[in-house]
Amino acid sequence: MEVKGRRGPAFVAELNVPTPLLGVHALETLGFKVNPRTGELEEISPEGGYLLQTTNPAKP
């Protein structure tokens, strides 16, 4: 999937609904979250999200 120019893997479920829905997991994978007060998409990580991390920051 692609959101705001970032691409990454996501699980997709095709549903017969009037409005498409993009889940929290998919957004976090790309480094985004939805601000619950404004409904706006916000960046939480400049490089992408949690699943795209290749190193363990807790280990030197």
| Token code pair at residue 30 | 């790309």
pLDDT tens digits for the chain (60 residues)?
788 888 888 777 788 888 877 788 888 888 888 999 999 999 987 766 554 444 555 555
Per-residue pLDDT, 6: 83
Per-residue pLDDT, 40: 92
41: which strand partners? 34
Does this model's pTM top 0.75?
Answer: no
Helix-, strand-, coil-residue percentages of the chain, each rounded to 5: 15, 15, 70
Per-residue pLDDT, 51: 47
Per-residue pLDDT, 52: 47
Q: What whole-number distance in Å separates Cα of residue 12 and Cα of residue 53? A: 21
Q: What whole-number distance in Å separates Cα of residue 60 and Cα of residue 33? A: 28
Name every residue whose Cβ is closer than 8 Å to that of residue 59 and which is 6 or more positions away in sequence. none
